[in-house]
Amino acid sequence: MSRTIHVIEHWRGAEPDFGRRHMAGRGFDVRVVEPWRGEALPDLSGDEAGVMLMGGPQYVTELEDAPYLRKEMRFAERAMKLGVPVVGVCLGSQMLALMLGARVGFHPEDHATFGYYDLYPTGAGRSYFPERMKVLAGNSQGWEMPSGATPLAYGEVFENQAFVYGGNTFALQFHPEVTRLILDQWQDEFASMIGQAGTQTIEEQDLGFAAHDASIKRWYAGFLDDWFGGPEN
């Protein structure tokens, strides 16, 4: 099997995120594709190690402003049908949910997340998540649970936080990949979100990073190894 993982990005991050670096360190051929900058999506053979759809500032409810997201959803659908392991993070999870027929939209009370929040695993989710975990979230839209998906975790502001579908598709509404440098970038570029109902202050976010980032990264490294097959022998 190929060791290729295609990572679909939606904005210019301050540095490669933790997940990309971790997978490269495990011997995977991590290939970043940026359709938002006009790059073409690759052809899939079905032999790939995985596909990751990452977060970004775009909204799947405004596809006319980001028409490339439609192509990405078709790309993800093909990967799913071919049996390629797929992971969607934040915007990526919203694309997967929409593709599976679920509604995606803003919080009914216009709340948003920006900071560290409790994650509550379901019975099925205990196979993936610890009983007590705080995660970094930054979003103003969320998704309803797709029909046929297995709910894995719930959250404080946006109820649905994770699901698995069809054995090879995993969705995460939160952000385990964010490094300190990327969080600094968020706090600068998305500063207008801070103060919206549901969000935390920069001071609270900084305290959250110091208290919880190491455990989040340990969880994420283990999850990626399990989902994509671990280090090359």
Antiparallel, parallel or unpaired: β 169-172 and 86-89: parallel
Total domains in the fold of the chain: 1
Token readout for 161 is 């936080």
Question: What percent of the chain shows pLDDT beyond 70?
Answer: 98
Q: What CATH number does the domain containing 22 carry?
A: 3.40.50.880
The pTM of this model reads 0.96
By the 8 A CB rule, do 69 and 58 touch? yes
Q: Return all residues near 7 (Cβ < 8 A) that are at least 6 apart.
A: 19, 20, 30, 31, 32, 33, 52, 54
> What is the separation of C-alpha 86 from the centre of its chain, rounded to a whole number of angstroms?
11
> What local confidence, expressed as pLDDT, does residue 132 receive?
86
Confidence label for 232 from pLDDT (cuts 50, 70 and 90):
low
Residue count of the chain: 233
Model pLDDT, residue 233: 44
Dist. CA 179–CA 176, nearest whole Å: 9
Cα 111 off chain centre by: 19
Mean pLDDT value of segment 91-119: 98
Residue 116 falls within a domain, yes or no?
yes
pLDDT in the model for residue 2: 86
Q: Using one digit for the tens of pLDDT, what is the confidence trace for 15-69? A: 999 999 999 999 999 999 999 999 999 999 999 999 999 999 999 999 999 999 9
Q: Which residue, 135, 117, 119, is CA-closest to 214?
A: 135
Question: What are the pLDDT digits (tens) for 126-160?
Answer: 999 999 899 999 999 999 999 999 999 999 999 99
Q: What is the pLDDT of residues 196-206, one digit of tens each?
A: 999 999 999 99
Residue 194 resides in a domain: yes
In which domain, by residue range, is 19 found? Answer: 4-228
Residue 101 forms part of a structural domain: yes
Element (H, E) at 142: strand 141-143
Whether 216 is covered by a domain: the verdict is yes
Q: Are the C-beta atoms of residues 49 and 2 closer than 8 Å to each other? A: yes
For the residues 1-11, what does the mean pLDDT come to?
94
In a domain, 233, yes or no: no
Residue-wise pLDDT for 152-196, tens only, equals 999 999 999 999 999 999 999 999 999 999 999 999 999 999 999
Contacts of 182 (CB under 8 A, 6+ apart): 13, 14, 15, 17
All residues at 6 or more sequence positions from 90 whose CB lies less than 8 Å from its CB, including other chains: 54, 55, 56, 138, 139, 172, 173, 174, 175
Contacts for 76 with CB less than 8 Å, ≥ 6 apart: 51, 53, 86, 88, 95, 96, 99
Q: What is the mean pLDDT of the chain?
A: 97
Question: Could you tell me if residue 165 is inside a domain?
Answer: yes
